Structure 1
């Protein structure tokens, strides 16, 4: 779909009606008018246009309220598609998703250790082209990009990508010029949060936080279905929340950041330190053949290795302290945890929840729901898809 068409689709009243159909389908024209406060003629005109645009479909007949049975409307989830991109540490994941978040195809591009801006943008182009060529009959309404590091979302520029050691990458303008589609770019943790809100039914929560814990730690804050970026665009950078003022120096230059205590590399570093101090663990036998990593610590914990279990327990305590701070400042209705470290499951979740209960100041705050993400390996990719969907539907909680 060419640019401009997307703008037509997302005009205010169309977005209101689309979102009402999305959240309440099947639904009649009369019910849409009643619940949105739009006039029946306005609803009728826009529904006619949406049917012509094939964004919605007429479904079965509804229950009669005394006259003819009304024709029900549903979202045409397979009528249009979105390309989602997740820029990871060593590769870029590209997916095609329909409007319901169903992934119908994917591909990858490998990231070299040394890459230039031009190389990186070429990789993005190649991945998108590969998917489009496989599905040339599909209509696409946009491209979403989840990018690690500091992102200026409005301009779609990657200000600083630490893993690539690149600055000021014009992702949005490049992809829009090449593909003539709307492109949205956001920090990967924030995109992940929006994906959780969109595809896991958490949109019913007025406020939620999704925390992505892997090589680094980031979070996204979603309020009424929309990302909250803060005044300077750094809302959610909980990886750089100070937990120990006398702690290790972080990559950001500060000391004792959560990232130095609870990220994947921090877990591996803690295991290394304990082994060097004479700690007993099966990990000591494994590291002759395998690289010491957070995954290896988890593997040892699964075999009831007490040193590994203690490391993961302590990691959960550090995360729990950070989340307690977050609850006291933000008071979200739900916190979702994703990323590689979340695969440790109860080894960290038990101490996270215990710490939150122990440290929060009110009884209601102690009941804050904390859960593990269910999006799996598609977390940030579907988050990038949600960047486009949130623009199209503009969800608003009533």
Structure 2
């Protein structure tokens, strides 16, 4: 990372998750010049402190003042009003209603822009790929959602719900989803839903499912197939509805690495066996996994500060 005084051309981006906060400082050209990580706090005061203290830590590392920071972008789960910067219902962070932009900006003395975490990650993933091809970022974590980037800009749809593929029902007789429907994609490949269906103790239930499937456990084999089937359905929905070129898969489940990627590709190939139309789309060749430890989400949050927020609410994934 670059150190020393870098001048007034720095943007900061933060990805605030339920367990950790990842922060980066980037130049106007999008180069990451500093990075810090910390455990995420719980509750309104702690979340505001995470923003302020992360910015201060990065500035100290770079030898600059907070006044040298052009903007601060924050990617956060929950319901995000991108105009007011207010966060609603970020349950894992203990936030019910927080004016995160207003309170953080007042303490830092620099503009703060707040964005939904998945949409911010989509923007960062697009920037890391370094091309202008249309793409979607599919987040496979506790829940399932996607962000769509076209020509370097987040595409939100008319009411900000573009990319909410997790709550598309693909099995009307399937498991009940938290949204009230049955058989949503999230019930098949969301980490939370899989852990509940597995029902066995363990720190990493989805990894346990894959390990048990490798040993021939019938329930694990069924759940592993569900995960691949659900993720493949999400990829199909994204490509067929928006005609994006590439689906970048990120989120906590990508820690499974090739075991996850290979299972999704196999499901896409199997689904296309009897469909010349699906075979013509080569969906298995159009997915890629975000590398472990990628700064995509924090980088995307920093880049959010380049654009003025639009007047709609971006929903949680």
Structure 1 length normalisation: TM-score?
Answer: 0.66
1:210 paired with 2:137, answer yes
| Aligned CA distance change for structure 1 residues 174 and 219 (closer, same or farther; 3 Å) | same
What corresponds to 1:226 in structure 2?
153
2:282 maps to 366
- Does the residue aligned with 1:163 lie in a helix, a strand or coil? helix
Indicate whether 1:140 and 2:72 are aligned: no
Report the Cα offset of residue 348 of structure 1. Answer: 3.1
State the shift of 1:362 in Å: 4.7
Could you say which structure has the greater relative contact order, defined with CA pairs below 8 angstroms and 6 or more residues apart? Answer: 2
Match of 2:296 in 1: 379
CA contact (8 A) 2:34 2:58 kept: no
Tell me which of 232, 247, 266 is aligned to 1:335: 247
What residue in structure 2 maps to residue 190 of structure 1? 119
User: Is the CA contact (8 Å cut-off) linking 2:70 and 2:111 kept in structure 1?
Assistant: yes
Runs of 4+ aligned structure 1 residues displaced above 6 Å come to none
Q: Distance in 2 between matches of 1:127 and 1:346?
A: 33
Aligned position for 1:284: none
Could you tell me whether the CA contact under 8 Å between 1:85 and 1:95 is conserved in 2?
A: yes
Partner of 2:34: 104
Q: Is 1:254 aligned to residue 181 of structure 2?
A: yes
Structure 1 residues 217 and 376, CA gap change in structure 2 (3 angstroms):
same
Comparing 189-198 with 259-268, which one deviates more in the overlay?
259-268
**What's the CA shift string for 1:125-168, capped at 9, x where partnerless?**
23323333443426322111011122122222213313235333
Contact 2:105–2:111, Cα closer than 8 Å, also in 1: yes
Aligned CA distance change for structure 1 residues 168 and 320 (closer, same or farther; 3 Å): same
Distance 1:297 1:142 in 2: 42
Q: Is the Cα–Cα contact under 8 Å of residues 141 and 251 in structure 2 kept in the other structure?
A: yes
DSSP-derived class of the 1:130 partner = helix
Count of aligned residue pairs for this structure pair: 293
1:390 Cα deviation (Å)?
A: 5.6
Which has the greater radius of gyration?
A: 1
| 1:388 aligned onto 2:317 | no
- Please report how far the alpha carbon of residue 381 of structure 1 lies from its aligned counterpart in structure 2 after TM superposition: 1.3
Does structure 1 residue 170 correspond to structure 2 residue 99?
A: yes
| Residues 195 and 292 of structure 1: CA distance in aligned 2, closer, same or farther (over 3 Å) | closer
Structure 1 residue 211 displacement after superposition: 0.5
Contact 2:163 2:238 in 1 (8 A): no
Q: Report whether the alignment pairs 1:350 with 2:262.
A: yes
Q: C-alpha separation between the residues in 2 aligned to 1:78 and 1:316?
A: 47
C-alpha distance after superposition, 1:53-98 (max 9, x if no partner): xxxxxxxxxxxxxxxxxxxxxxxx9873222111111232333333
Q: Is the 8 A contact 2:34 2:62 kept in 1?
A: no
CA contact (8 A) 2:36 2:57 kept: no
What is the distance in 2 between the residues matched to 1:108 and 1:382?
16
| Aligned match of 1:271 | 198
> In the alignment, which residue of structure 2 is the partner of 1:26?
none
User: Which residue matches 2:24?
Assistant: 95
Partner Cα separation in structure 2 for residue 104 and residue 297 of structure 1: 37
User: TM-score of the superposition, structure 2-length normalised?
Assistant: 0.81
Match of 1:121 in 2: 48
Cα shift readout 1:292-331 (whole Å, capped 9, x = no counterpart): 5223334556xx4233465334311111122212222112
Distance 1:375 1:82, change over 3 A: farther
Name 1:235's counterpart in structure 2.
162
SS at match of 1:306: coil
> Could you say what the CA RMSD is over the residues aligned between the two structures, in angstroms?
2.7
Provide the C-alpha distance between the structure 1 equivalents of 2:54 and 2:289, rounded to a whole number of angstroms: 30
**Residue 355 to residue 300, structure 1, CA distance change in 2 (3 Å):** closer
Inter-CA distance 317–90: structure 2 relative to 1 (3 Å threshold): same
Give the 3 Å change call, closer, same or farther, for CA 238–178 of structure 1 in structure 2: same
